Amino acid sequence: MFIREVEGTNPNALRRLADGAREGTEVFLHDEGTGGVVLCQDDDVAPVRAITDKRVELRFTGGRYGVDAGRWLFYVGLWTPDDYREEFLAWYKLEHLPILLECPLWDGCRFVEEKTDRGARFYALHQLADRTALDSAERRHSRATPWFRRLATQTWFDGAFKRTLCRRMPE
């Protein structure tokens, strides 16, 4: 799978990035209008100049995701030191994501990893039926558990994560 990050928001240019890719490719625009994200299922898409391509591997999923899931993508970039990789994955998979999925507006998530020379780089591709899921009681609860609070004592955790809200580009 590839995650393609782009600067522009020209719908025709974004659609061209998805052309020729396998069915299931998704195009999202940053909510603040500063770029976009193209999720490509193909492993053999051609690189394009001025675009950040991230080849990622699926680690786990939960709920509904993909073209049949919500029109909002909450795209979260997460980095952890190697020493915390396994604990972080366990927390996200066993506690954090299941709590989020209790929210009826939180459709699902694909959790992927990008190879890196230092630490572990992950991306959570959360799909939401409505952006108000970000203000839900379930999300607040997921960020108030003892496990979350223990991880939050680390400088690399939570505040250092990059969060981008995107909306699916209309056909």
Residue range 105-133, pLDDT digits in tens? 999 999 999 998 888 999 999 999 999 99
pLDDT at 49 over 80: no
Contact between 120 and 88 under an 8 Å Cβ cutoff? The reply is yes
Give dist(CA 59, CA 100) in Å, integer.
17
pLDDT at 38 over 60: yes
Tell me what percent of the residues of the chain surpass a pLDDT of 70: 85
Return the domain boundaries, the chain: 2-168
Which CATH topology does 2-168 take? Alpha-Beta Plaits (3.30.70)
The upper half-sphere exposure of residue 66, i.e. CA atoms within 13 Å in the direction of its Cβ, equals 10
What is the average per-residue pLDDT within 70-93? 96
